[in-house]
Amino acid sequence: MKRILLLFCLLFLVGCDASPEKAESSAILMGTYVTVTLYGENKAQLQAAADGALRIAEEMERVFSFSDPDSELSCLNRSGQGTVSETLWNALEIAVECEGLSEGALCCTMGKLIDLWGIGTDHAAVPDAADISFFVPAEDAVLLLDEENRRVQLADPDAQLHLGAVAKGYAADRMAQYLRDAGVSGGALNLGGNVLTFGEAPDGEHWTVGIADPFAPDDVLMTLTGNDMSVVTSGGYERYFEEDGIRYHHILDPKTGYPAQSGLESVTIIGNCSAQCDALSTAVFVMGAQRGMELVESLDGVEAVLVTGTGELLFSSGMDAYRGRS
Amino acid sequence: MKRSCILIGITLLLFALGILGLLHGKRRGQWVVILQNNIEIQRVALAEVTEPRIICVAGKNGEENCICITPEEVYMESANCPDGICMHMGNIIDSDAPIICLPNGVVVRILQEELP
């Protein structure tokens, strides 16, 4: 009988286990729902840090927004040239590097083409074919960068910068850095399809991140486990519209000006730098399975999960380190 | 032996009362919070909702979202956003996940909060 009493006492003790405090802050920013979830010992400090991280996202929105006429990016697009902030410059460098690595599968100067399609807005429609070909980015370099002076020039008056493929990832990196500097021991950031985990998981072991099933986005296709990882997914299921029974998604192929038809439904990139993962997920989606996977395999510390149009899952060679349960 | 049985009985009773208290407290402390452009515009105590209530949120450019709140359900009844995704997010009354209407900038979430 004493043993039973002891068991009850133990159960109560387990129930009173000192699990970490949790604080959460969220808002619609950068065109998505941003959530900051932090764990630690002092709830008030955690909440202040979570709110501070959201303010970083607000700052990033003021830099990168394509639709806000007062953003730094919009001002640059209007003037066609200028000296830019360190934030804009750093993100631009990552995007341009990915443009080179992907042989143009990612392009950060097709703002007018993206605006023409209007996917995700109330004016989404299939544009006139002539308009599409007019705004397809030129093969020649239209972006002139002067690193020493952080000066940017758009050589083609019809080119407009659009950093949607890298901005949320860059914001996640900056927010995580802010939280680490603030002494937060662990947390997770979710900016739409961009997830970043850092520090200690609440269970003291690993963070678990789910990858959405592109054929049923409310369902989890598989889970990844790890620490200090960025997981970014791009998929045709995220934003799209339908016209005459055809689905037009938001990831445009810079070479054709139309939504990419690469045979992939979604691309998930896992790595340490969220901005790089963000850019690569778009580029690999456009490149397709073979070329995309070759690119991923050529990069250190970057892994990928590709879902093809037939539902087949393709994994990069180092994915075993992250794979949870299917 | 007899004293041990009494102790177990008391422990079980306290345990059951605790569970009941937690469940009751959770319902009493549930709020439906409606945000528009990241600003809280309405907060409804679920304990005070006895029959279905529709709350409509209008935006500056003609946006409109109507949220249905009943004692058992909270869901997006209608919305004039271009994608209509928010109307398919279902009932969130027992969920940590909010209803998000990105185009109209509306978020509906359930907040667990202790009553004063």
pLDDT, one tens digit per residue, over A110-158 is 999 999 999 988 789 999 999 999 999 887 768 999 999 999 999 998 8
- ipTM confidence: 0.79
Residue B29 pLDDT > 80: no
Output the average pLDDT for chain B. Answer: 84
Average pLDDT over residues B87-102: 93
Those residues with Cβ within 8 angstroms of residue A73's Cβ, 6 or more apart along the chain or in another chain: A63, A64, A65, A66, A88, A161, A162, A163
Torsions phi, psi for A8 (to 5 deg): -60, -45
Q: Give the 3-state secondary structure of residue A76.
A: helix
- Confidence grade of residue B2 (pLDDT, cut at 50, 70, 90): low
Gap from B93 CA to chain A (nearest CA, Å): 17
Q: What are the beta bridge partners of residue A145?
A: A152
d(CA A214, CA A249): 12
- Which of A3, A122, A238 to probe by mutation at the B interface, max B CB count within 10 Å? A122
Nearest CA in chain A to B99: A33
Cβ-nearest to B102 among A2, A5, A33: A33
Q: Which of the residues B19, B83, B85 would you substitute to probe the A interface, choosing the one with the greatest number of A C-beta atoms within 10 Å?
A: B83
Residues of chain B in contact with residue A121, where contact means CB-CB under 8 angstroms, are 82, 103
Question: Could you say which of A2, A8, A120 has the minimum Cβ distance to residue B11?
Answer: A8
Q: What is the pLDDT of residues B32-76, one digit of tens each?
A: 999 999 999 999 999 999 999 999 999 998 999 999 999 999 999
Query: B100, A33: Cβ pair inside 8 Å?
Result: yes
pLDDT of residue B64: 96
| SS3 call for B51 | coil
| In A32-132, beta strands by DSSP E | 32-40, 81-83
**pLDDT at position B12:** 67
Tell how strand A313-315 and strand A143-146 pair up.
unpaired
> Is A5 within 8 Å of B4 when comparing Cβ atoms?
yes
pTM: 0.87
Cα separation, A215 vs A309, in Å, equals 9
